[in-house]
Amino acid sequence: DSGVTQTPKHLITATGQRVTLRCSPRSGDLSVYWYQQSLDQGLQFLIQYYNGEERAKGNILERFSAQQFPDLHSELNLSSLELGDSALYFCASSVGDRGLGANVLTFGAGSRLTVL
Amino acid sequence: AQSVAQPEDQVNVAEGNPLTVKCTYSVSGNPYLFWYVQYPNRGLQFLLKYITGDNLVKGSYGFEAEFNKSQTSFHLKKPSALVSDSALYFCAVRVIGQGGKLIFGQGTELSVKP
């Protein structure tokens, strides 16, 4: 157990629907990162939050949004889902967002999303 | 733009033989480099990192990596492979000035046969 908790582990939904993925970072970690892993795109960085504020943005679609709450958990919202959104979504956390505190990311086990 | 490349999709090694998983990088400035491993149906696990100092970095499970600045490489190595080392290995570079995010390579599937 890495200490990073992601729910749900598996999710099957239909095109056009909206889902929310949840992440609880490791105790003491203030920074949360979201990644998407698919066979054709590999591991793609989506977005990073640090202590509730957005820190960096990657290849995140406009249909996707995220936030980090005061208790430091984070949610990734995926809407108007398409078949191509089927992927494994990982959350990772680190102590800080820069310097030594950002150097090691601890990953959760992932949420597998299947869009039918 | 900062990036990493893993030129081999798959590496096959016999148990007991040395293994090498290759990674090259492209960064502006000093590189912060990492190796992660992913076992089936699991998240990524940190193996080792290079920030500064000795070019040979030792990590978890007997793995080590050699940083070579002139060749812009950061190859992962292990002197004697185990069947249990079979997994997907990712090289990553930290993007300076953009928080702590890591950019990952495409991954290399390591298969160790008995």
Q: Is the pLDDT of residue B114 over 60?
A: yes
How confident is the model over A83-115, as pLDDT tens digits?
A: 999 999 999 999 877 766 557 899 999 999 999
Residue-wise pLDDT tens digits, B41-57: 888 999 999 988 889 99
- Helix (H) / strand (E) element for B111: namely strand B108-113
Residues in B closer than 8 angstroms to A56, CB to CB, are 95, 98-99, 101
B98 to chain A, closest Cα gap in Å: 6
pLDDT cut 90: percent of chain A above it: 83
Q: Does A15 touch chain B (CB under 8 A)?
A: no
Q: Do B45 and A96 touch (CB under 8 A)?
A: no
pLDDT recorded at residue A103? 74
DSSP secondary structure code for residue B98 in this structure: B
Which of B 28-57 lie inside 8 A of A, CB atoms? 32, 34, 36, 41-46, 49, 51
For the stretch B58-70, pLDDT in tens is 999 999 999 999 9
* Partner B contacted by A105 (CB < 8 A): yes
pLDDT at site B52 = 83
Q: What letters, b where the CB count within 10 A reaches 16 and e where it falls short, cover B36-54? A: bbbeeeebbbbbbbbeeee
- For residue B103, pLDDT over 80 is answered with yes
- Cβ(B76)–Cβ(B50) below 8 Å: no
Maximum pairwise Cα distance, chain A: 42
Residue of chain B whose alpha carbon sits nearest to that of A94: B100
- Tell me if B43 and A4 make a contact (CB, 8 A cut-off): yes
Q: What is the DSSP string of B5-72?
A: E---SEEEEETTS-EEE--EEE-SSS--EEEEEE-TTS-EEEEEEESSS-SEEE-GGG-EEEEETTTT
CA A60, chain centre distance (Å): 11
Alpha carbons B14 and A39: distance in angstroms, whole number: 26
Distance CA(A112)–CA(A9), nearest Å, equals 6
User: What rounded mean pLDDT belongs to chain A?
Assistant: 93
Q: Hey, CA dihedral for B45, B49, B55, B60, is it positive or negative? A: negative
pLDDT for res B58: 95
Residue the block writes with tokens 């959350």: A91
Rounded to the nearest integer, the mean pLDDT of chain B is 92
Which residues of chain A lie closer than 8 angstroms to B102, CB-CB? 33, 45, 105
B22 part of contact set with chain A, CB < 8 Å: no
Q: Decide which of B4 and B96 is more confident.
A: B4
Contact: A50, B99; criterion CB under 8 Å:
yes
CB contacts < 8 Å between A and B, how many?
Answer: 67
pLDDT in tens, A28-56: 999 999 999 998 888 999 999 999 999 98
Weakest-pLDDT range from A66-80, B49-63, B93-107: B93-107
DSSP strand pairing (B10-14 vs B108-113): parallel
Q: Are B110 and B22 in contact (CB under 8 A)?
A: no
Return the bridge partners of B19, or none: B78
- Is B100 close to A97, i.e. CB distance below 8 A? yes
Question: Rounded to the nearest 10 degrees, how much is the dihedral formed by the CA atoms of B95, B85, B88, A19?
Answer: -90
B-chain residue closest to A45, CA distance: B103
CA–CA separation, B47 and B49 (whole Å): 7
